[in-house]
Amino acid sequence: MTTSADLDGFRAEVSDWVQTNFPSALNGFDLGADSPSEKGVSGEFRAWRQALADKGWGTPTWPKEYGGAGLSDPEAKVIRREIAKAGAFNPIPPMTGMGVTMVGPTILEYGTDEQKAKHLPGIASGEVRWCLGLSEPNAGSDLASLSTKAVDEGDAFILNGQKIWTSGAHISQWCGAVVRTDPKAKKRDGISFVMLPMDQKGVETRLIKLISGASPFCETFFNDARADKKDLLGDLNDGWSVVKRLLQHERQSQTSAPAAVKIDQEPLQEQAKRYVGTLQDGTLADPDLRLRIVGNLMDAEAHKLTVSRITAEAKGQVKVSAAASILKNSMTRVAQTKAELTLEMMGNQGIGWEGEQFSDEELRSVRDWLMGKAMSIYGGSAEIQNNIISKNILGLPETTQQG
C-alpha cells in the first residue's frame, strides 16, 4: 500500500527527474498541433520519449517486464501531474495511437505470454503505433453486424472486407481487427479478434477529410490480408468478449479528456473575464454566463469525483463493466458545454477560421468546438451508451435487438 509519505517522496523524485530531463527546446511544444520535424526539435523529442520509456513512465502501471514501471495508480497520477506542472508532456500514449489506451490493456488481460512479450514493449516505448478495425460502412454502431471475413488457411487467417473510421491507420504498424470467423453462428458468436501488420500488400488505407480540417480517420480495405494465427487475441469465435473489454478501455480513456483536466490551461472563468469583462467587485459582468460557467465547473468536478469513485471500486477487477458508459457520456457533456461557452464568450473572435485578426487560442477553440462534436459518436455513440446503461445498470428490458 502506498502511503501519503511515500507519495510525497515519490512526487519530489518525479519533479526533480522531469526538471532535469525535459529538454528546454520542447517548452511550448503543442503535442496536438506541432510537428517535431517542422519545429526543428526531432532529436530532443526522441530523447525525451526514450528517457520516459527507459523509466517505464510512458505506461507506469504496466509490469516492468513489458516496458512499464510496475507502479500503483496513485503513483501514476503523480507522474501525470508533475509532468503537466513542469509544462512537459508524455508523448508515448499519442504516439502509439490506440496502443496504450486500448490494445495494450486488452493484451495484458487476454494475451498469451508470447503475445505480451511480442507486442507490449513496442507500445510501452512509443515505437509501435496501433489502429483498430472495428466499424464498417454497413454496420454502424451495431458492431456485431460486421461482415469482414477471416478464412482459416492453415497457420493464418486471410481477411477480406472494409473497415471505416480507422483512426491513424495510414501511419500505424499494427491493427487490431474484429472479423467474422464463423458466418453460420449467431452474429455475436461467430466473431474473432485478430492482430495483423499494416505493412503488407493486402492492406490499403484512404484518408477521410473532416469538417474541422484535420484528417485523423481512414477507410481501411483488407484484400487477402494475412493475420498470423499466433496473433488471435482470446479464443476463436469469442471476439465479442474481447472487443467489449477493449471498448470499455476506450471509454475509460475518454473520461479524462483534456477539456476537463488540463493543468496548464487558463480556467474557463478567467478566460471569460478577459473577454467579457468584470464588475467592480471582480465578478464576471454577464450574470447569465456566470451561472452557466458555474454549472459547467460543477459538472466537471462531479465527473472527476465519479471517475475516482468508480476507479477505486473497480480496482483489481478484470471484467466488463457498464460504468465506463456513464463516464463517457458525462465527459462528453462537460467538454461540449465548455466548448460552447468558450465560443460564446469570445463573441465574433470565436468564429474565425483563419486570418491575422484571430489569435492562435481563438483559432484553436473553433477547431476544438468542431472536433468536440465527434465525442457524441466515437467510441460508441451517446445513444449506444444510454442503451448499455438502461439495460446493464438500470435493468430495463432489451429494446434494440436480440443476439
Spatial CA neighbour of 118 closest among 249, 252, 228, 269: 228
Task: Quote the CA–CA distance of 145 and 153 in Å, as a whole number.
Answer: 23
Does the annotation count 398 as an active-site position? no
- Number of CB atoms found within 10 A of residue 50's CB: 15
Cβ neighbours of residue 63 closer than 8 Å, sequence gap 6 or more: 70, 108
* Residue recorded with cell 454566463: 289
Task: Quote the CA–CA distance of 314 and 384 in Å, as a whole number.
Answer: 22
Task: Quote the CA–CA distance of 35 and 26 in Å, as a whole number.
Answer: 11
Tell me which of 153, 250, 356, 362 is the catalytic residue: 250
Cβ neighbours of residue 236 closer than 8 Å, sequence gap 6 or more: 181, 192
Q: In this structure, which amino acid lies at residue 260? A: A
Cα separations (Å) of 330 from 28, 60, 256? 30, 26, 10
Spatial CA neighbour of 82 closest among 65, 66, 60: 60
Spatial CA neighbour of 400 closest among 389, 384, 382, 377: 384
| Torsion-angle region of 140 (φ positive above 0: left; ψ -120 to 50: alpha; else: beta) | left
Task: State the DSSP H helix or E strand holding residue 54, giving kind and residue range, or none if neither.
Answer: helix 42-55
Annotated catalytic sites, by residue? 250
